[in-house]
Structure 1
Amino acid sequence: MLQTLVHYSLHFIVPGLIARVFFPEYWVKAWLIMIATMLVDLDHLLASPIFDPNRCSINFHPLHSFWAIAGYCILFFIPKFRVIAVGLLFHMLTDFQDCLW
């Protein structure tokens, strides 16, 4: 229960705080973009079972692979895609903390 609470707080609340601090002039838009990056979880539909609480998503699902994460890091250095990259990278960090539980 605590893991689920922490996980979803990190997915929804913390991106809002990040947006407010680092993108103050358009923080609501930045927050919504970061929330939209959760579409990266569509790659979970390729797994069987779709949800396994004991599975580490990092490097298991295609959009959670080290190659994908490297791509998200590259996106960070392109100003037009920075908010998206921050959302994706924070998403990966959130999913990684699940691997540590």
Structure 2
Amino acid sequence: MLVDVDHLLATPMFDSHRCSIGFHPLHSYYAIVVYALGSIFLKGDYRIISVGLLFHMLTDFQDYYCWN
């Protein structure tokens, strides 16, 4: 997904011991709140995108905490 483009800003780009939630700009807690509000208040395709972004954050959270 395009939301992972913010990983290019990090050094190193991938670190298995770093949780992307709260570290990368598009994975920040503020961004997650915007995605949650979008899934409630937006209509049509924008709502679908917001829900998809929330699922992406959930899988990033799960990847880190279940495998480390």
**TM above 0.5:** yes
Unaligned runs of 5+ in 1: 1-37
Query: Partner of 2:23 in structure 1?
Result: 60
Q: Partners in 2 of 1:99 and 1:73 — Cα distance? A: 21
Identity score, percent: 64
Q: Partners in 2 of 1:84 and 1:39 — Cα distance? A: 11
> 1:60-92 CA deviation, whole Å, 9 max, x = no partner?
000000000000011102123111011100000
Cα RMSD (Å): 0.8
Q: Which is helix-richer, 1 or 2?
A: 1
> 1:35-80 CA deviation, whole Å, 9 max, x = no partner?
xxx1100000110001111110000000000000000011102123
Query: What amino acid maps onto 2:57 in structure 1?
Result: M
With normalisation by structure 1, the TM-score equals 0.61
Alignment: residue pair count: 64
With normalisation by structure 2, the TM-score equals 0.88
Query: Partner of 1:47 in structure 2?
Result: 10
Which runs of at least 4 in structure 1 moved beyond 6 Å after TM superposition? none
Query: Partner of 2:43 in structure 1?
Result: 79
